[in-house]
Amino acid sequence: MMKFLVLLAILAVAFGTKIFSEDHNRPAITKDLLADIQNKATTWKAGHSVRFANATIADVKVMLGTIMPGEKGHQFPAQQKTQFKLKGSIIPESFDVRENWPSCSSVTGRVRDQSNCGSCWAFGSTEAFNDRYCIATGDADTIFSPDDTNACCNGIHCMFSMGCNGGQPAGAWDWFTKTGVSTGKDNADTGNGDSCKPYSFPSCAHHVEPPEGLDSCEDLPTYKTPTCTSSCYEENYDTTYSKDKHFASSSYSVRGEENMKLEMMEKGTLSVALSVYEDFEAYTGGVYQHVSGKYLGGHAIKMIGWGVEDGTPYWLCVNSWNDTWGDNGLFKILRGSDECGIESDVVAGDV
């Protein structure tokens, strides 16, 4: 029992991205940071995105919460995939899940918003599972609930994930095989009665006059993890929670650039994680690679393809910071050199 409590304490420290008092007064994006990025003539563009235009470092850290390989508490899935049906096939120079399965593009290209909650791990896993479900079944109407994952995938059954305090996509994928995840659209869809557990928290933007459809993040609290319920939030939804669950049939890790490509070509989206530095928040386009700023924490997203831009190879990823960040919510990151750990923690599963 004592060992169990010690493990919980270690994981609590590992998951929670530590926020220092000075982080509340340090701007996330500064003129000096932008100038430094520009002076280094890198492969990407930096600027003030609406999502973080006047945010602080503390605002950013709130949304991080994934343990990276090598950090205390990190766990890989029990299984590693080593056999690929497309092994030996010609791998194209570029690939995009949205284009390869166009009937599912509304799902695979969907950009969501975790709001002021460190639930990136729940989004990066749930969305990837949702994409694969659509690709396998052709059902582009069913949207899975990151809120169900965030609230209910916890403790020993989910690699000790802790909701808005962070978690591990590998734990979520294992949970999908055992417990399943319900449907749940975005917060703006609350009250429509067309999904079980819409996301609890609204989309927002920091310290700017938010565009239509977004709240100001400063008007919202830093959210606590929702209570896990055994019933749907929506009274008008016509399916019970227990019958609304969707299950994965397996979960596994994928190692290596070639295997990541083969896996996407065969079954679609991957759950991945990266180390976030101060310059990442300023990304507005191009192929990101870290050039400036301190390490802030681990972050989970989904990966939907790859390509080459002006001679630079990249992975194509979808973030969960709404479409006012990055390139309409997406970003490209340097491929082939494990930039920011993007190739070190890759999780997927069968539908």
Give residue-wise pLDDT tens across range 314-342. 999 999 999 999 999 999 999 999 999 99
User: To which H or E segment does residue 108 belong?
Assistant: helix 105-108
pLDDT tens-digit series, residues 102-161: 999 999 999 999 998 999 999 999 999 999 999 999 999 999 999 999 999 998 889 989
With tokens 């899975």, the residue in question is 144
Identify the architecture of domain 2-348 in CATH: Alpha-Beta Complex (3.90)
End-to-end C-alpha distance for the chain, whole angstroms: 36
pTM above 0.85, yes or no: yes
Q: And the tokens for 76? A: 């890989």
- CB neighbourhood size of 6 (10 A): 10
The reply to whether 120 belongs to the active site is yes
pLDDT value of residue 212: 67
Do β-strands 215-216 and 204-205 pair in parallel, antiparallel, or remain unpaired? parallel
Picking from 232, 117, 132, the residue whose alpha carbon sits closest to that of residue 176 is 132
CB 4 within 8 A of CB 160: no
The reply to whether 322 belongs to the active site is no
Q: Measured over all CA atoms, what is the biggest interatomic distance in the chain, rounded to whole angstroms?
A: 57
pLDDT tens-digit series, residues 233-290: 999 999 999 999 999 999 999 999 999 999 999 999 999 999 999 999 999 999 999 9
Q: What is the mean pLDDT of residues 57-70?
A: 92
Rounded Cα distance between 12 and 21, Å, is 19
pLDDT tens-digit series, residues 186-230: 999 999 999 999 999 988 765 455 566 666 666 666 678 999 999
The reply to whether 259 belongs to the active site is no
Place 8 in a pLDDT band, splitting at 50, 70 and 90. Answer: very low
**Residue from 104, 117, 120, 164 carrying the catalytic annotation:** 120
Place 99 in a pLDDT band, splitting at 50, 70 and 90. Answer: very high
272 pairs with which residues across the strands?
301
Rounded Cα distance between 327 and 262, Å, is 25
Q: What is the mean pLDDT of residues 36-44?
A: 95
* DSSP assigned state of 28: S
pLDDT value of residue 6: 37
pLDDT tens-digit series, residues 289-305: 999 999 999 999 999 99
Q: Look at residue 3 and tell me whether its pLDDT is greater than 50.
A: no
**Residue from 153, 299, 317, 340 carrying the catalytic annotation:** 299
The alpha carbon of 172 is separated from its chain's Cα centroid by a whole number of angstroms, namely 12
- CB neighbourhood size of 293 (10 A): 20
pLDDT value of residue 177: 97
Picking from 215, 186, 164, 203, the residue whose alpha carbon sits closest to that of residue 61 is 164
Q: Give the sign of the dihedral formed by CA 255, CA 299, CA 330, CA 341.
A: negative
Q: And the tokens for 11? A: 């994981």
pLDDT value of residue 52: 86
**Residue from 116, 154, 187, 319 carrying the catalytic annotation:** 319
